[in-house]
Amino acid sequence: MNVINEWAFIGVFVAIAWVIPTLPIALAAFVSPRKPNAIKMQTYECGVETVGDTWVQFKVQYYIYGLVFLVFDVEMIFLFPWALAYNRLDFFAFGAGLLFIFLLTDALIYAWRKRALEWV
Amino acid sequence: MVPLWMYLLVAAALFCIGAYGVLSRRNAVAILMSVELMLNAVNINLIAFWRYLTPQNMSGQAFAAFVFVIAAAEAAVGLAIIISVYRSRRSVVVEDVNLLKG
Amino acid sequence: MECRDIINTLAACLQVSGTDPGLAQFIQILLGVLIVTMAPLIVVILLIWVERKFAARVQDRIGPNRVGPYGLFQTVADALKLITKEDITPAGADRLIYNLAPIVSIVSVILIWAVIPFSPIHIGVDLSIGALYFVAVGSIGTLAIMMAGWSSNNKYALLGAFRVVAQLVSYEVPMVFALLVPVLIAGSMSMQGIVEAQRGMWFVVLSPVAALIFFISTQAETGRAPFDLIEAESELVAGFNIEYSGMKFGLFFAGEFVHVFTNALLMAALFFGGWVGPGVDQIPALGFVYIALKATVFYLVSLLLRSTLPRVRIDQLMSFNWKFLVPVSIVNVIVVAFLLQVVRALGLAPAADLANDFIANLPQAIVLLLGSLVIVAFVLQQLRNFGRQERAAAQTVMVRKEDDVDMLPAQAAH
Amino acid sequence: MLELNAQSIGFLVFSVFTIGGGLGVVTSRNLIHGALFLILSLFGAAGLFVLLSAEFLAAVQVLVYIGAIAILIIFAVMLTRSMTRLSEVFNRQWWLSAVVAVGLFVLILVGVILPVFGGMDTASVAPDVATTVDLGVALVDGNQYVLPFEVASILLTAAMIGAIVIARDNE
C-alpha cells in the first residue's frame, strides 16, 4: 500500500468510527421512552436547587498545568524526529538533544521552585 | 494531484478570515483564536510550497515546526496575559484594557 | 499486485474478477476498516464480563452469574437495559455538544486500533508515524471529556471535567517521554518497525524504567484506580458524566473499558515484543495469540490494581506526576540516549545482519539495563531521603493538611 | 477540471473543514463553540498536511493544537468567564475590518495566486519527498538547524516561565 492509500484507510476509518457509536444512540432514541418533565430535566446537583450560574470561576492552577503540558508537548515536535534519526547521528547530536532537554528542564525546575506545580 | 494554487487559495482565505477576526472581535480570547487561524494559514502555505517546490529539502517542514513553537508560545503567554488582565480589570474586552493610553 | 490470499490482496482478487481498480481498492479498505473497528467493540463485551468476574473474585464475591453460563451474557443484558433507558438531556445543556461528547470519547479510543500490529502481516495500517498517531488521537479523548463537562450545564460536571483534563494532560507528558525510548532504540515510529526491532530483545529489558512509566501513565490516562478521580463520587457526585444517562453513559463506559485493553495492547507492542514469538514467521496468525496473551497479562495486572488500591488525593496525584514521573522519565531518555551512543562507540551494538539474534543483542542489553538499574537505585535513594524528611516533619508538626477545601464551587467563586 | 479521486475528494472535504471552521471561529458568539470550530479548522489543516505528505506535522498538529492549545484556550475561557455578559460580539469598526480583510484577500489573489492560477499540471512535482528522519537529521546538523533548534527550546522556556509569572496571582 502506498502512502496515500494508507491515509485513505485512516480517512475511511475515521468516518466509520463515527458511525458505529452513533448507531446505538440512534437506536436508543427510537426504543427508549421519552417523558420529560421540568423536575427530571433539572440539573442534578446533590438534590439541592442549583445556585447561580454554572460558569463559576476556576482556579488558575488548571491553566498552569495546561501550560506546562503545552510546553512539553511542543517539545515533542523536535524530540521525535531527533529520536527517529538517532541511529545515524553522532555524539554532537546527543549533545544538541541534551542541551535542548536541559533548557526545558530549567523551566520545569523554575515552576517547581516557585511552587507552581502544587495543587493548593 | 491537486494543483498548488488551490492550497494557496485555501490558505489565503483562512488568513483573511483570521485577519478579519483579529480586527473585528472585541473579546481578547477570540482575537487570540483568530491569530491561531492566521498562523495556521501560514503553515499551510509553508508546507504547500515545500511539497511542490523543494520536496527533497527539509527546510519547509522545519520552518513549519518552528511556527508551531511560535504559535504555542504565543497562545501560552497571550492567554496568561488575558487571565491576568481579567483578574485586575474583570473584563476581557480589549477596548476596556486601556492602561497604557495616555 | 497479484491475487494470493483473499484477505491481504482482496483488491487484486477483485480486479482479476473484473472490478474497477479504484472500486476494488475502496472495497478492500472498507472491509479492513470494518474488521478493525468491529474488533474492539466485540472484545469489549467480553472484557466487561472478565472485569466484573475478576474484581468479584478479588473482593471475595461471585460476580455476575445469572444471565447465561457463568453470567457470560450479563453484558448483553446490560446493553439492552441501557438502550431502553430513558435518555435525559438536562435543561440548559448544549444539545449538539452534549450528544457529540460520548461519541468523540469512544472514537478516540477506536482510532488507536488502526495502528496496533497483531501479526507480521495483520495491522490496520502501518503508518510511518504510528507511535505519534496513537498519542495524537488519544489526546482527542481529553477534548471529549471537556465537551461533556461543559455542555452538561452542571457545576459538578464542569468541575469534574476540569480535574480530569488536568490529570490527563499531566500524565501525557511522562507517557510521551517513555514512548520516546522505543522510538530511540528502534529508530522507527511505525508500530511494525518497533515490533520488528524487538525480535532480538524486548525493549522492556533495554529500558524497564520506560516500560514502568508508560504503564503507570497509561493507567492514569484511562482514569482507573488508583487514579480514578474521574468518578470521585464523594467529592464530585460522579464527575464529568453526572448528567449522562442511558446509552450515552454506556458509551463513556465502553470507551473506558476498551481504553484499558488498548493500553495493554500498546504496552505489549511497544515494550514486550508485540507479536514476536516462536514460529510467527511461518504462521503469521500466531501473532494474534502472542500479543493477546501478553496484553491479557497487563490487562489483568491493571484490573488487580483497580480492585485493590485506594484512590489517591488530587494533590498527591499531581505531585506524583510532576515531581516524580516527569523528572524520572526525562532522565531516563537522556540516559538511554547516552548509553546508545556509548554502545555504538564501543562496538557493542548488534551488527545489522544479527539484529534478530538474542546473543548478539546481549551486550547492548546489559549496558542499557545497568543504566536503568542506576536510575532505579538513585530514585530509591532519593525517595528514602524524602520519606525520612517527611517523617521528621510529621513528628514536629502534627497538623493535618486540609483536603481540597478550596475546590468547593461555593468558595471557588469569590 | 479537477480529477475526482481520493486525493481531490480529501482536499475538498478538508478545505471545507478548514474554512468553515475559520468562519465559525470569527462569528460564533459563544467562545466554547468558537474553540470547537477552531479545532475543526485545525483538523482540516491537519488533513491538508497529510495530502501534502507532511504526515509528521499532521500528527503534531493534532497533538499540539487540538490536544494542548485548544484545551488551554478552553481553560482560559472558563477562567475569565468570557462567554457571559458580552453583548456585542464585534467592535464598531467591524465593517472596516471586513473591507480590510477582503482587500487583503484580493491583494493576495492578484499578487500571489493569479500568476499560478489555472495551472492543473502537477506532473513535474517530485513524487518522493524527504522523510521525518531527514527532519531529525537536519535539526541537529551543525550546518542546518541546530541553532534554531536550541533557540526554540529557549523560547519555550521563556514562554513557560513568563506565562507562569503572569498567570499566577501573587496575593
Q: How far apart are CA C210 and CA C175, in angstroms?
A: 9
pLDDT digits (tens, 9 = 90+) for C121-174: 778 788 888 888 989 988 888 888 888 888 887 777 888 888 888 888 889 999
The CA-CA-CA angle for residues C46, C48, C52, to 5°, reads: 120
Residues of B in contact with A63 (CB under 8 A): 79-80, 83
CB contact under 8 A, A58 and D78: yes
- Beta carbons within 8 Å of D152's beta carbon, 6+ residues apart: A78, B66, B69
pLDDT exceeds cutoff 80 at D86: no
Confidence of residue A45 (pLDDT cuts 50, 70, 90): low
Distance separating alpha carbons of residues D57 and C115, to the nearest angstrom: 18
Of B21, B44, B62, the CB nearest to D48: B44
For residue C347, give Cα distances in angstroms to C339, C340, C344, C357, C364: 12, 10, 5, 16, 9
Cα–Cα distance for residue pair C349/D163, rounded to 1 Å: 44
Distance CA A44, CA C239 (A): 12
Residues of chain C predicted below pLDDT 70: 1-19, 229-238, 398-414
> Which grid coordinates are listed for D122?
502537477
Residues with Cβ within 8 Å of C335's Cβ and at least 6 positions away in sequence, in order, are C371, C372, C374, C375
- pLDDT value at residue B86: 82
- Give the residue from A55, A67, A84, A103 with the most B CB atoms within 10 Å of its CB, the best one to mutate: A67
pLDDT of residue B41: 92
Q: Which are the contacts of C69, defined by CB distance < 8 A and separation ≥ 6?
A: none
Residues 6+ apart with CB under 8 A from C144: C101, C102, C104, C105, C108
Half-sphere exposure of A60 (CA within 13 A, CB side): 20
Peptide bond into C226 cis (omega under 30): yes
Q: What pLDDT does C406 receive? A: 46
Q: Does C377 touch chain D (CB under 8 A)?
A: no
For residue D23, the model assigns a pLDDT of: 92
Residues D88, A120: Cα–Cα separation, whole Å: 36
The Cα–Cα gap between C47 and C54 comes to 10
Q: Which is more confident, D159 or C87?
A: D159
D98 interfaces chain B, CB cutoff of 8 Å: yes
Among chain B residues, the shortest Cα distance to A75 is held by B69
Q: What percent of chain A has pLDDT over 90?
A: 0
> What pLDDT score does C15 carry?
67
Report the alpha-carbon distance of residue C199 to residue C180 in Å, rounded: 19
Query: How many angstroms away from the CA of C198 is the closest CA of chain D?
Result: 20
Q: What is the largest CA-CA distance in chain D?
A: 64
Our CA-based measurement puts residue D115 at a distance from the nearest CA of chain C, in whole angstroms, of 34
In terms of Cβ atoms closer than 10 Å to its own Cβ (0-12, 13-18, 19+), residue C45 is middle
- C151 CB-near residues (< 8 Å, 6+ apart): C93, C94, C95, C97, C98, C101
Residue A74: its chain B contacts at CB < 8 A?
A: 68-69, 72
Helix or strand or coil: residue D156?
A: helix
State the distance between the two ends of chain A, measured CA to CA, in whole angstroms.
Answer: 53
- Using an 8 Å CB-CB cutoff, list chain D residues near B86: 79-80
Residue C253 grid cell = 463506559
Q: Which residues in chain A have Cβ-Cβ distances shorter than 8 Å to D60?
A: 76-77
Domains present along chain B, CATH in parentheses: 4-90 (1.10.287.3510)
Per-residue pLDDT for D20 more than 90?
Answer: yes
Residue D81, phi then psi, degrees to nearest 5: 45, 45
pLDDT-based confidence at residue D46 (cuts at 50, 70, 90): very high
- Global pTM reads 0.89
Q: Cα–chain-centroid distance for residue A60?
A: 18
Which residues fall within 8 angstroms of residue D100, CB to CB, at 6 or more apart?
Answer: B19, B20, B23
Fold exhibited by the domain A3-113: Methane Monooxygenase Hydroxylase; Chain G, domain 1 (1.20.58)
Whether A63 sits inside 8 A of B72 (CB atoms) is: no
| Residue C291 to residue C285: CA distance in whole angstroms | 11
Rg over CA atoms, chain D? 20
Tell me what pLDDT residue C1 has: 42
Q: Is A98 on the interface with C (CB under 8 A)?
A: yes
pLDDT in tens, A59-98: 778 888 888 899 888 888 888 988 888 888 778 888 888 8
Residues of D in contact with C20 (CB under 8 A): none
Q: How far is CA A94 from CA A80, A81, A86, C180, C237, in A?
A: 13, 13, 8, 14, 49
Tell whether the model's pLDDT for residue B25 goes beyond 80.
Answer: yes
Residues 55-114 of A with CB under 8 A from D: 55, 57-58, 60, 62-64, 66-71, 73-78, 80-86, 88-89, 92-93, 96-97, 99-100, 103-104, 106-107, 110-111, 114
Residue C2's Cα: distance from chain center in Å?
Answer: 37
Amino acid at D84: T
In tens, the pLDDT along B34-93 reads: 999 999 999 999 998 888 888 888 888 888 888 999 999 999 999 988 888 887 777 777
Question: CB-based contact (8 Å) between C137 and chain D?
Answer: yes
User: Any idea what DSSP says for residue C351?
Assistant: P
Using the Cβ of A37 and the Cβ atoms of chain C, whether some distance falls under 8 Å is answered with no
CB pairs below 8 Å between A and B: how many?
19
Give residue limits of the domains in chain A: 3-113
Q: Check CB contact under 8 Å for A77 and B65.
A: yes
Q: What is the pLDDT of residue C412?
A: 42
Beta bridge partners of B25: D90
pLDDT of D16 above 90: yes
Residue linked to cell 545515524: A88
Residue C330's nearest CA partner among A105, A65, A99, A115 is A105
**Percent over 90 (pLDDT), chain D:** 16
Tell me the average pLDDT of chain D: 82
Using an 8 Å CB-CB cutoff, list chain C residues near D59.
129, 132-133, 136
pLDDT value at position C8?
Answer: 57
Which three cell numbers mark B44? 499551510
User: For residues D74 and C365, what is the distance between their CA atoms, to the nearest angstrom?
Assistant: 45
